[in-house]
Amino acid sequence: MTNEADDDGSAGVPLAVAGASRPGGPRWAHLIATVFGIGRLHPGPGTWGSAATVVLWTVIAFRLSPALQLATAIALALLVVGIGIPAATQVARVSGKKDPQFVVIDEVAGQLIALIAVPLAWKTLLAGFILFRVFDIVKPPPVRQLERLPEGTGIVLDDVAAGIYALVVMQILLHFDLLK
């Protein structure tokens, strides 16, 4: 049994036996790196990954007390970075691409960072989403330079930096009450 043609050129590659691996790396790495397949959505898999993160964070945060939201956002961002780097490394190695488009765990990490200490309101969530996507696409220094780091480290840390830029701008907007 073989896979249908994928955008990563895996057509004709035999499917894995009992979850050992699959095109794109070991099964665990593929699931994490593509965020359970969200990275396969088109167009703009990174935008889909960011949007899914905003929705998921909103669902989680509304279930938490305000006192726990900040610590939870930080913990989740650190967890995603911690598991995202090795997952992205595995998938990039197998795909033969430096930064495969279908790897979107980096967008999850950056988007979570952009939403740290952001009030749960549609304007702030939308602004955090837009700010992160802009910084992720434009890649101001040193974001672009971080892409040069090896494997999953470069894949994830450039989005972490874009998320930090978005977080700083978001906090400035909030401080001056510009999102009313």
**Would you say residue 13 has pLDDT above 50?**
no
Structural domain range at position 64: 29-175
Q: Are 108 and 80 a contacting pair, CB within 8 Å? A: yes
Give a yes or no: residue 23 inside a domain.
no
Give a yes or no: residue 58 inside a domain.
yes
Give a yes or no: residue 21 inside a domain.
no
Amino acid (1-letter code) at residue 116: I
Q: How many CB atoms lie within 10 A of CB 132?
A: 30
Q: Give the pTM.
A: 0.86
Six-digit token string for 133: 């996507």
55-89 exposure pattern, b = at least 16 Cβ within 10 A, e = fewer: eebeeebeeeeeeebeebbeebbeebbebbbbbbb
Q: Could you read off the pLDDT of 121-173 as tens digits, one per residue? A: 999 999 999 999 999 999 999 999 999 999 999 999 999 999 999 999 999 99
* Closest listed residue to residue 119, CA positions, set 179, 52, 44: 179
Locus of tokens 């967890």: 79
Give a yes or no: residue 168 inside a domain.
yes
Band (pLDDT 50/70/90 cuts) for residue 14 is very low
Give a yes or no: residue 109 inside a domain.
yes
**Would you say residue 40 has pLDDT above 60?**
yes
Give a yes or no: residue 20 inside a domain.
no
- State the total domains in the chain: 1
Give a yes or no: residue 17 inside a domain.
no
Give a yes or no: residue 14 inside a domain.
no
